[in-house]
């Protein structure tokens, strides 16, 4: 029983940094606390640490500032791309109209580029600016998804088409988790491509004005100062070994 309780305490302590985990678990062993009290002590510290993270701007920018609105906006792009693809590949092939209208093909290409770059950059940025509140950011991303999936009424398209953006977004998160960095030249190339595509969409009237927020994470990547101590910081946080 005590072993199970101790395992539970260790699992709860995973929310702490490795250094703090080591210290606190040592304290609990030394004071021979009961399992219940040990769990209360650890959960108290975890809650305090989590609340402290919300004192700064990073957590607020990552969760309600980026994850929530980007999720809504990128779902719009996912839906638009799915609809266009369905038109081209289903009806277009039947009527032999596929890619007959280059303007439509350009719009589709621009939407796809914006979706991939902006979703990837949003995932990377949200994860890297506030790593320890990532769970809340993920919830802020999934709540709009749930809302839209439940209200989805298009019979000609599968509901999951709304979640197309999640593939590049998750790739961005994983890249950041592995401690990945992107050099400034590549970041500028990406952000420039996304901006040009958005401008093309705006000129053609295919872009809602609020969609410009999607470009913010990509620009953040481009102007983010390259921190040489990033890996050391990640190691200290226990994110990479």
Partner 1 sequence: MALGEFEYLLISAAATLGENAYGVAMSEAIAKATGRTCSIGALYTTLDRLEAKGLVKTWMGGGTPQRGDRSKKMVRVTPAGTVAARSFYDTMIRISNRAPWAVQ
Q: Which residues contact residue 66 at a Cβ distance below 8 angstroms, ignoring those fewer than 6 apart?
A: 122, 125, 126, 137, 216, 217
Under the binding rule (CB under 8 A), the answer on residue 58 touching partner 1 is: no
Under the binding rule (CB under 8 A), the answer on residue 132 touching partner 1 is: no
Query: What is the Cα–Cα distance from 20 to 25, expressed in whole angstroms?
Result: 8
Under the binding rule (CB under 8 A), the answer on residue 20 touching partner 1 is: yes
Query: What is the Cα–Cα distance from 80 to 74, expressed in whole angstroms?
Result: 10
CA-closest candidate to residue 12, choices 1, 31, 36, 32: 36
Binding residue (CB under 8 A) for partner 1 from 44, 56, 64, 158 = 44
Q: Which two tokens stand for residue 32?
A: 């021979």
Under the binding rule (CB under 8 A), the answer on residue 54 touching partner 1 is: no
Q: Which is nearer to partner 1, 10 or 227 (CB)?
A: 10
Under the binding rule (CB under 8 A), the answer on residue 27 touching partner 1 is: yes
Query: What is the Cα–Cα distance from 214 to 206, expressed in whole angstroms?
Result: 14
CA-closest candidate to residue 135, choices 73, 192, 218, 50: 50
Under the binding rule (CB under 8 A), the answer on residue 19 touching partner 1 is: yes
Under the binding rule (CB under 8 A), the answer on residue 42 touching partner 1 is: yes
Under the binding rule (CB under 8 A), the answer on residue 104 touching partner 1 is: no
* Segment interacting with partner 1 (CB under 8 A) among 26-34, 61-69, 116-124, 195-203: 26-34
Binding residue (CB under 8 A) for partner 1 from 23, 210, 223, 226 = 23
Binding site for partner 1 (CB under 8 A): 19-20, 22-31, 41-42, 44-45, 47-49, 52
């Amino acid at each position: 029983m005590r072993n199970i309780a101790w395992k539970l305490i260790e699992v709860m302590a995973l929310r702490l940094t490795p250094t703090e985990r080591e210290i606190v678990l040592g304290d609990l062993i030394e004071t021979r606390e009961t399992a219940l009290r040990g769990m209360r002590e650890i959960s108290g510290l975890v809650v305090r640490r989590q609340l402290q993270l919300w004192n700064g701007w990073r957590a607020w920018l990552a969760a309600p500032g980026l994850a929530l609105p980007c999720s809504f906006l990128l779902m719009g792009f996912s839906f638009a791309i799915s609809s266009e693809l369905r038109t081209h590949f289903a009806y277009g092939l039947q009527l032999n109209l596929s890619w007959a209208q280059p303007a439509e093909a350009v719009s589709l290409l621009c939407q796809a580029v914006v979706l991939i770059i902006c979703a990837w950059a949003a995932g990377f940025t949200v994860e890297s600016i506030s790593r320890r509140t990532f769970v809340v950011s993920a919830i802020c991303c999934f709540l709009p998804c749930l809302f839209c999936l439940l209200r989805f009424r298009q019979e000609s398209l599968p509901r999951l088409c709304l979640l197309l953006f999640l593939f590049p977004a998750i790739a961005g998160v994983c890249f950041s988790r592995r401690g990945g960095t992107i050099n400034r030249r590549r970041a500028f190339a990406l952000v420039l491509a996304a901006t040009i595509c958005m401008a093309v969409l705006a000129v053609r009237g295919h872009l809602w004005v609020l969609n410009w927020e999607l470009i913010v994470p990509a620009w953040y990547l481009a102007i983010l100062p390259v921190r040489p101590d990033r890996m050391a910081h990640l190691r200290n946080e226990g994110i990479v070994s």
